[in-house]
Amino acid sequence: MLIFAAILAIFVYGMIAAMLGTILPELSERFHLTPSQNGAIAFAQALGLMIASLAVGPLLDTEGDKIGLILGLACIVIALFVLPRSKGFGTIVVRATALNLVNLFFGLGGLTTPFISANLFKRDWVRLCYTVASLTVLTLVVQAVTQMPAPAGASGFVLAQAGPILGRPLLFMLGLFLFLYVSCEVGVWNWLPRHLIAQGIPESRALNILSLGFALGLLVGRVGVSPILIHVPAVEVTLAASIAMAVTTFLMLRTNKPGLAAALVFIAGLSMAPVFPTALAITGTAFPHMTGTAIGFVITCGWAGLAVSSRIIGAIAGGDPLRLKKALLLIPASAVLMIGLNLAIWSMLS
């Protein structure tokens, strides 16, 4: 039962992770939102993720996993049922923040959301919201009735103990690395469909490229990299991934052909697949004491990257969707910076 509860939670959160990018084209059309306003919505999403990253650790340590899951799933249910009733931009921003107050799980759902929106619901985003909300209610009930491990009983965060960790440059380098990476990955999740539509690709095809291209690439890559990490040092894997990200994300922004775009987006997903979990593994290995604090700091830096990049992309694109192509060059530029940071981290770990 515990395994089933975990799988269901992973699946639902994966669906939530892909939600904004899937429904953003329809929201933009319905409420006449500019790319700049899209950036503000993505910023609200990032703010929720940052709050969750900072708050969830002490909550899980003192109260246990179940309370964190139930509270997070309840926020998702409320947000998804209320979002279709939104009257405009301001309401959507508030819902986007609430919708992302959980930063715990990711999985196959990331592929499912855009796929069913394009092929089963015919881009009916209201129906999509209600469907995912109903599935989340079921998940919440499963979590509530499932027995889970007791709280760790941690006494709380002690700043004096964190001082030596926060004083190490390596931690900040890892944080900046994830800052840039999340700007890339979630930037693709949130902006790719709008970009493809602006290039003349039909919306249903754009959503399928996000699902069967990017999401599938991430899933295949994360399965395939596991045996590689047994034989290849983690920092070498992230370096190779960063180089591949820089090339593929640049090329995917240069084409308006659906088939070529799908292939490049899939390869971009493969390239990104190992970076997030491997970066956290490097952090855990480098900081064997107060590992949770170190990982929490690095993850929060990652969501800060989403907040900053969303604002920059929205500002560059302004009110013209056709300028989004230029704004999204921030993604390969961030990947190039990741290469330099990766080399610096490698030297620190040597």
Q: Read out DSSP for 220-257?
A: HHHHHHHHHHHHS-HHHHHHHHHHHHHHHHHHHTT---
Distance of CA 86 to the CA centre of its chain: 24
Q: Which two tokens stand for residue 59?
A: 């909550």
How far is 109 from 82, CA to CA, in rounded Å? Answer: 21
Asked whether the predicted pLDDT for residue 267 surpasses 90, the reply is: yes
Q: What is the pLDDT of residue 222?
A: 79
How far is 270 from 82, CA to CA, in rounded Å? Answer: 35
Asked whether the predicted pLDDT for residue 266 surpasses 90, the reply is: yes
More confident residue, 194 or 6: 194
More confident residue, 14 or 346: 346
In terms of residue numbers, what domain contains 282? Answer: 2-147+155-349
Residue 169 exposed, middle or buried by CB count within 10 Å (0-12, 13-18, 19+): exposed
**How many residues in total does the chain contain?**
350
Q: What is the pLDDT of residue 24?
A: 74
Q: What is the pLDDT of residue 183?
A: 92
Neighbours of 206 (CB within 10 A): 27
Q: What is the pLDDT of residue 242?
A: 97
What HEC string does 313-335 produce? HHHHHCCCHHHHHHHCCHHHHHH
Q: What is the chain's Cα-based Rg?
A: 19
- Containing 161, the helix (H) or strand (E) segment is helix 159-166
Give the lowest-confidence range in 41-55, 156-170, 198-212, 335-349. 156-170
Distance of CA 240 to the CA centre of its chain: 21
Question: How high does pLDDT run on average in the chain?
Answer: 78
Distance of CA 208 to the CA centre of its chain: 18
Q: What is the pLDDT of residue 102?
A: 35
More confident residue, 272 or 164: 272
Q: What is the pLDDT of residue 35?
A: 74
Q: How many domains does the chain have?
A: 1
Q: What is the pLDDT of residues 73-130, one digit of tens each?
A: 777 777 777 777 666 555 544 453 333 333 334 545 556 677 677 666 766 767 777 7
Within 83-124, where are the H helices? Answer: 89-99, 109-119
Q: What is the pLDDT of residues 140-193, one digit of tens each?
A: 777 677 766 555 444 444 445 556 677 789 999 999 999 999 999 988 988 898
Beta carbons of 161 and 31 less than 8 angstroms apart: no
How far is 108 from 12, CA to CA, in rounded Å? Answer: 9
Q: Span 214-222, mean pLDDT? A: 85
Q: What is the pLDDT of residue 320?
A: 76
Asked whether the predicted pLDDT for residue 314 surpasses 80, the reply is: yes
Beta carbons of 69 and 104 less than 8 angstroms apart: yes
Q: What is the pLDDT of residue 29?
A: 75
- Residue 71 has φ and ψ, to the nearest 5°, of -65, -45
Nearest alpha carbon to residue 29 among 197, 192, 187: 197
More confident residue, 329 or 190: 329
How far is 207 from 345, CA to CA, in rounded Å? Answer: 36
Asked whether the predicted pLDDT for residue 195 surpasses 60, the reply is: yes
Q: What is the pLDDT of residues 227-259, one digit of tens each?
A: 887 888 889 999 999 999 999 999 999 998 999
